[in-house]
Amino acid sequence: MSERSYLVTGASGYIGGRLVPELLDAGHRVRCMARSARRLRDHPWASRVEVVEADATDPDATRRALEGVAVAYYLIHAIGGGSGFAETDRRAARTFAAAARDAGVRRLVYLGGMNPDQELSPHLRSRAEVGEIMLDSGVPVTWLRAAVIIGSGSASFEMLRHLTERLPVMVTPRWGHTRIQPIAIRDVLHYLVASAALPGEVSRGFDIGGPDVLTYEEMMRRYAAVAGLRRRLIVPVPVLSPWLSSLWVGAITPVPGGLARPLVESLRNEVVCAENDIAAYVPPPPEGATGFDRSVALALRRVRETDVATRWSSASTPGAPSDPLPTDPDWAGGSLYTDERTRRAHAPPERLWEVVEGIGGERGWYSFPLAWRARGVIDRLVGGVGLRRGRRDPRRLRAGEAVDFWRVEEIEPGRLLRLRAEMRLPGLAWLELRVDGDDGDDARARLTQRALFHPRGLAGHAYWWAFRPFHEVVFGGMSRGIARAAEQDTVTAGHRASAARREG
């Protein structure tokens, strides 16, 4: 364990929120600086760090936050912060750099954008200016310069994700031909952690990037291929200003317009590594530099593997830096449509669970039988399994077995059943049924039913909204039917018990 702390600013942001657990795993004591400690309390690592409240533009508060700190990570940016963002960035950087010098910080580590030898967009220019302020601080600095970062939750990646998934045919202005050297989030974190140990005489900037140099159009095509989407038709247009482009991106994707504009403006700059000097001080990641296709596959991992619903339905700690965090913004992580319903039953939890575990097969799905049969027929017509598989046992289920056109993905006896759809769909779907006691009343139980759908491409979004009007009939009827069946079974069991007592 380090004797002095490692301070992370911007810990509530995309990079900082993933850097903190990496530093903790490396054995460092971590302190997080935030304007409000409440913004960090929902992070899975919150109980393992020290949190200090300070605004980077407040000299006294910042100096107190930096006391006893060996290495300070400066990950503060005012992107999307309005017309005065550049001055805000300057003031915060100068205040922080001076406070770090006064506190005796051994090294500053700053992550910014690349600054190629050309006219920069306002936000790239501001990033470069912050880097220069850090270098002039009198404290040894590692200034890492990266282009597009690939990982679930990265604003640049989410823009790429949503544009590619939602538009099978798209027009791209000249920035679609801009050459970019993207880098995986796991590789960025590798360099950030290792940079803290650079020799004291090293104080400079380093370009970092992945092994592939691609145009934005090529990135969209390769994303589509990795995500299993049809080949995208991209039509270049000679003019489309950054302002109009940002409006277009804002209309097509959930990325906020205030964030989309600086991202689009920055795409006019070619961002390719001019040097690889970092290799003289930091070895490459253990598995080697991560290529673009693998970076995308890692970012999409949670929507392609069978544990996706586990990750999204719980607030568990992500297993890798590329995974979504519970604290990522609402527009991050791709689309996940949810239909959730709660129903109380006048039946004990064990009786309700018996109905849940017996679902499908001859007992059916407790709502609109004709619709379920029709869906099964349609699935068979398009090459799917339909409803013909039924189920192995009418009363008991186990993980991995089939139930009509579903597969048991997870089962916790008496509590949870999660089914993954194996019907032909333009996306991935799950049905989750959870049974709980009703506030200590042994004679009542609560059913929580969730249908989840992750669309693939525009067809997936259209599929969800086309069937959305029928959800009340299908899913609402299912929750009502399951609760009603449990209540009827409870009454029947009560009658049988009464009859047995009379006969006895």
For strands 107-113 and 141-146, give the pairing.
Answer: parallel
Average pLDDT of the chain, as a whole number: 84
| C-beta contacts of 278-284 below 8 A and 24+ residues apart | 278/144, 278/191, 278/206, 278/207, 278/208, 281/194, 281/198, 281/199, 281/202, 282/190, 282/191, 282/194, 282/195, 282/198, 283/194
pLDDT of residue 286: 87
Where is mean pLDDT largest: 27-41, 95-109, 404-418, 439-453?
Answer: 95-109
pLDDT of residue 321: 58
Q: Which residue has the tokens 């967009």?
A: 121
Q: Are 415 and 434 in contact (CB under 8 A)?
A: yes
Read off the pLDDT of residues 295-309 as tens digits, 9 standing for 90 and up. Answer: 999 988 744 443 332
- Rounded CA separation 308/464 (Å): 18
Q: What is the residue-wise DSSP string for 387-409?
A: TTT-BS-SS---TT-EETTEEEE
Angle, vertex CA 152, rays to CA 149 and CA 154, nearest 5:
40
Q: For residue 68, report the phi and psi dihedrals to the nearest 5 degrees.
A: 75, 15
- Rounded CA separation 414/208 (Å): 51
On the question of pLDDT at 170 being above 90, the answer is no
Using 50, 70 and 90 to split pLDDT, how confident is the model at 121? confident
The full set of domains in the chain, from first to last, is: 5-313 (3.40.50.720), 337-503 (3.30.530.20)
On the question of pLDDT at 49 being above 90, the answer is yes
Instruction: Give CA separation, 155 vs 5, 42, 84, 240, 260, in Å.
Output: 29, 20, 21, 21, 8
- Rounded CA separation 309/189 (Å): 26
Q: Are 359 and 478 in contact (CB under 8 A)?
A: no
395 by Cβ neighbours in 10 Å (0-12 / 13-18 / 19+) ranks as exposed
Worst-scoring range by mean pLDDT, 51-55, 168-172, 220-224, 407-411?
168-172
pLDDT of residue 484: 94
On the question of pLDDT at 424 being above 60, the answer is yes
pLDDT of residue 176: 77
- 48, 63, 73, 255: which is closest to 154 by C-alpha? 255
Q: Are 492 and 357 in contact (CB under 8 A)?
A: no
Task: Tell me the one-letter amino acid at 409.
Answer: E
Using 50, 70 and 90 to split pLDDT, how confident is the model at 332? low
pLDDT of residue 177: 81
pLDDT of residue 318: 41
Read off the pLDDT of residues 476-486 as tens digits, 9 standing for 90 and up. Answer: 999 999 999 99
On the question of pLDDT at 186 being above 50, the answer is yes
Read off the pLDDT of residues 371-403 as tens digits, 9 standing for 90 and up. Answer: 888 888 887 777 777 777 788 888 899 888 888
Q: Are 408 and 421 in contact (CB under 8 A)?
A: no
pTM score above 0.75: no
Angle, vertex CA 69, rays to CA 67 and CA 73, nearest 5:
120
Both structure tokens of 131:
């880097």
Both structure tokens of 76:
């503060």
Task: Tell me the one-letter amino acid at 273.
Answer: C
pLDDT of residue 267: 76
